[in-house]
Structure 1
Amino acid sequence: MLGAKARVWVAGEALIDLVPLNGEVKAIVGGGPANTAKALAKLGIEVCFIGGISSDSYGAAIREELHKVDLSLALESELPTALAEVSLDSSGSASYKFTLEGTTTFDFHNSWLPDGSPDILHIGTLATLVEPGASELYSWAKGLDSVIVFDPNVRSSVLSDAGKYREIFESWALISKVVKMSEEDLHFLGYSGGEEVLELGPELVVVTRGADGMEGITSEG
Structure 2
Amino acid sequence: MKLTPVCCFGEVLIDFLQDKAQPGVFHRFAGGAPANVAVAVARLGGHSKFIGMLGKDMFGDFLLQELQSYGVDCSAVRQTMDAKTALAFVALNEQGDRSFSFYRPPAADLLYKIEHCPAELWQDTGILHLCSNSLTEPDIAQTSFALVRLAQQHGWLVSVDANLRHNLWSEGKASKELVTQLLEMADVVKLSEDELEYLADGQSTQSWLQHILAFRPSWLVVTAGANEVQSYSKTDSFSVAVTKVPVLDTTAAGDAFVGTWLYQIAQQLELGESLTELVAQPELQWQMINKAIRAGSLTCQQYGAFSSLPDSSLVFD
Query: Is the TM-score greater than 0.5?
Result: yes
Q: Superposed, which structure 2 residues align to 1:38-187 within 5 Å?
A: 38-66=39-67, 67=69, 68-78=71-81, 79-115=83-119, 116-117=121-122, 118-144=125-151, 145=154, 146-159=156-169, 165-187=175-197
Contact 2:132/2:179, CA 8 A, preserved across alignment: no
SS in 1 for 2:166: coil
SS in 2 for 1:174: helix
Alpha-carbon distance in structure 1 between the residues aligned to 2:108 and 2:172: 25
Higher strand share: 1
Higher helix share: 2
> Which digits, 9 at most, give the CA deviation of each residue in 1:40-69, with x for residues without a partner?
001111111001122211112212321210
Alpha-carbon distance in structure 2 between the residues aligned to 1:100 and 1:161: 13
Deviation for aligned residue 1:125: 3.8
Q: Give the gaps of 5 or more residues in structure 1.
A: none
How much identity, in percent, do the aligned residues show?
A: 27
User: Which range moves more in the overlay, 41-50 or 77-86?
Assistant: 77-86
Contact 1:176/1:201, CA 8 A, preserved across alignment: yes
Deviation for aligned residue 1:150: 0.5
Contact 2:55/2:79, CA 8 A, preserved across alignment: yes
Alpha-carbon distance in structure 2 between the residues aligned to 1:45 and 1:28: 22
Equivalent in the alignment of 2:199: 189
Alpha-carbon distance in structure 2 between the residues aligned to 1:100 and 1:113: 22
Please tell me the root mean square deviation across aligned C-alpha atoms, in Å. 2.1
SS in 1 for 2:220: strand
SS in 2 for 1:74: strand
Bigger RCO of structures 1 and 2 (CA < 8 A, at least 6 apart)? 2
Deviation for aligned residue 1:196: 4.2
Rate the CA distance shift 1:106–1:16 in 2: closer, same or farther, 3 A.
Answer: same
Corresponding letter in the other structure for 1:70: D
Alpha-carbon distance in structure 1 between the residues aligned to 2:34 and 2:132: 7
Rate the CA distance shift 1:18–1:33 in 2: closer, same or farther, 3 A.
Answer: same
Q: Rg bigger for which structure?
A: 2
Equivalent in the alignment of 1:12: 10
User: Which range moves more in the overlay, 32-41 or 50-59?
Assistant: 50-59
User: Which range moves more in the overlay, 102-111 or 187-196?
Assistant: 187-196
Deviation for aligned residue 1:161: 6.0
Using structure 2 for the length normalisation, give the TM-score: 0.63
Contact 1:120/1:148, CA 8 A, preserved across alignment: yes
Deviation for aligned residue 1:90: 4.2
Corresponding letter in the other structure for 1:147: L
Using structure 1 for the length normalisation, give the TM-score: 0.88
Corresponding letter in the other structure for 1:198: L
